[in-house]
Amino acid sequence: SHAVIHDVLAGRYAEGETVTVKGWVRTKRDSKAGISFVAVHDGSCFDAVQAVVPAELSNYENEVKRLTTACSVIVTGTIARSEGKGQQFEIQATEVEVVGWVENPDTYPMAPKRHSMEYLREFAHLRPRTNINGAVTRVRNCLAQAIHRFFHERGFNWISTPIITASDSEGAGEMFRVSTLDLENLPRTEQGKVDYSQDFFAKETFLTVSGQLNVESFCCALSKVYTFGPTFRAENSNTSRHLAEFWMIEPEVAFADLADIAQLAEDMLKYVFQAVLTERADDMAFFAERVDQDAIQRLQKMIDSSFVRMDYTDAIEILKSSGKTFNYPVEWGIDLQSEHERYLAEEHVGAPVILQNYPKDIKAFYMRLNDDGKTVAAMDVLAPGIGEIIGGSQREERLDNLDQRLLDMGLDKEDYGWYRDLRRFGTVPHSGFGLGFERLVSYVTGIGNVRDVIAFPRTPGSADF
């Protein structure tokens, strides 16, 4: 029967039992004694299974001995205890069927040696076959499943919010335009502007930067909801933590204030860290060995500690009296840069920090104004090694305050008509946050660049594959 390699290595089959595994050759070694050792992987776990292939097989000389890395094979044989160190079980092959050859092994870009992450990006279609990308992919999947499970267990409904939208939910003007208009022959209004009334949706539309506004509408009816989907930002930041297309998890809770949502963020992170340590111990051990010595202890420490809450205003004082020179000078009112965030989380606290109550002028229009009139009920979760991984807030549920904020920020009230309705018809206090999924995967694996934890990264100047 077709066995998954994870099950073979985990001892799910008895010694002497016949199994068939299907996968790709990771390495092959021929011994003088006329036996070949073929390591086969199928992605179900970190390790490959060793197939011991005897010279008696009819295709030994003309096929088995010609196998190279990445050839696809179907191996049938009996389960045996492995003598060598490493795995407990191996397969004594009785049949090896070669399904696909590698045209010319010298031209195969993923030869089994260590490649730089930059090199692997040039082969985004083949890098899933590498140890490191396989491990990232399984950990990413584990985190996604754990996030859904966390919210499901707490009674949240998952809302699929739209990808094409007319509203700029962050009000930051970093949107990709969606249009079917003929670029050569754009229709114009009498004022000479592009006439989007002739476009597909009869208005100007964009790829969403966040599902938040839509999910707020469902929050104000189903109480506990979240989105988990792709979001798009045309910000021209070529950094190791920005993508033009990234995935975001956005829960939204009715009758919740800032403290409630901060606690939800802390609980969720701990839950998913625990899940990954339990379910992907093999891949995490690899990251600890190869990428970041501290990978496992770091997560365990997060699970065991309580996250520090700190006011923005206090953080500014800490940064000022740190004695450090930052590239970007510190004063009350600045938008914290990643050097500041990292100082706070890494050097000052040494653990995740939940920074709260930011100046209103650097935050989005929907955040709730505090009684001081200067700050809003916002929170960012800053993680050591990466900086902001979560941004959230209590929402402005008072219509007159919301309108004032839209005005102050130069946003047109008319564009937010349906959003304002939520404040006109049975408004409630509510709060939510957004977790950048790639930043989470980067944090968990220790892999420093978000381009290496998403299947096909989209960044300025790069949309290949």
Min. distance of Cβ 312 from ligand 4AD in angstroms?
14
Assess 391 for contact with Mg ion (CB under 5 A): yes
233 binds ligand 4AD (CB under 6 A): yes
Distance CA 42, CA 135 (A): 12
67 vs 355 by CB, closer to Mg ion? 355
Q: Which member of 77, 134, 384, 434 binds ligand 4AD (CB under 6 A)?
A: 434
Note whether 439 binds ligand 4AD by CB under 6 A. Answer: yes
Residue 170 touches which of ligand 4AD, Mg ion, none (Cβ within 5-8 Å per kind): ligand 4AD
- Return d(Cα 176, Cα 179) in angstroms, integer: 10
Report in angstroms how near the CB of residue 223 gets to ligand 4AD at its nearest. Answer: 16
Q: Which residues contact 215 (CB under 8 A, 6 or more apart)?
A: 159, 161, 225, 226, 227, 250, 252, 432
One character per residue 376-415, x = contact with ligand 4AD (rule: CB under 6 A): ------------xxxxxx----------------------
| Residue 384 touching Mg ion (CB under 5 A) | no
- Round to whole Å and give the CA distance between 457 and 465: 9
Strands 157-158 and 224-232: what pairing?
parallel
Q: Which of 44, 210, 356, 442 binds ligand 4AD (CB under 6 A)?
A: 210
Name the nearest CA neighbour of 442 among 391, 392, 383. Answer: 383
Instruction: Specify the DSSP element, H or E, that contains 442.
Output: helix 437-445
For residues 268 and 352, is the Cβ–Cβ distance under 8 A? Answer: no
Closer residue to Mg ion (CB): 54 or 230:
230
Residues 163-202, one symbol each (x = binds ligand 4AD by CB under 6 A, - = not), give: ------xx--------------------------------
Q: Which conformational region is residue 403 in: left (phi greater than 0), alpha (psi within -120 to 50 degrees), or beta?
A: alpha
For ligand 4AD, the closer of residues 229 and 391 by Cβ is: 391
Q: Among Mg ion, ligand 4AD, none, what binds residue 429 when CB lies within 5 to 8 Å by partner kind? A: none
What's the closest the beta carbon of residue 345 comes to ligand 4AD, in angstroms?
Answer: 13
Beta bridge pairs of residue 251: 226
What span, in angstroms and rounded, lies between the C-alpha atoms of 452 and 117? 7
Closest CB to ligand 4AD among residues 73, 376: 376
| 450 in contact with ligand 4AD (CB under 6 A) | yes
Q: Can you give the length of the chain in residues?
A: 465
Q: Which residue is it, tokens 């792709």?
A: 230
Q: Which of 433, 444, 445, 446 binds ligand 4AD (CB under 6 A)?
A: 433
253 binds ligand 4AD (CB under 6 A): no
Cα 328 to Cα 214, 324, 388, distances in angstroms: 35, 11, 17
* Residue 248 binds ligand 4AD, judged by CB under 6 A: yes
Q: Which of 250, 283, 396, 397 binds ligand 4AD (CB under 6 A)?
A: 250
Give, for 424, the enclosing helix (H) or strand (E): helix 417-424
Q: Are 210 and 231 in contact (CB under 8 A)?
A: yes
| Contacting range for Mg ion; rule: CB under 5 A; set: 47-55, 94-102, 219-227, 389-397 | 389-397
Site size toward ligand 4AD (CB under 6 A) is: 24
229: contact with ligand 4AD by CB under 6 A: no
Between the two ends of the chain, the Cα-to-Cα distance in Å is 35
Among 246, 286, 312, 419, binds ligand 4AD (CB under 6 A): 246
* Count of Cβ atoms closer than 10 Å to residue 160 Cβ: 11
Distance set, CA 88 to CA 19, 50, 85, 391 (Å): 16, 10, 8, 45
For ligand 4AD, which is the closer residue by CB, 73 or 262? 262
Query: By the 8 A CB rule, do 388 and 380 touch?
Result: yes
Query: Which residues sit at the interface with ligand 4AD, rule CB under 6 A?
Result: 169-170, 210, 212, 233, 235, 242-243, 246, 248, 250, 388-393, 432-434, 436, 438-439, 450
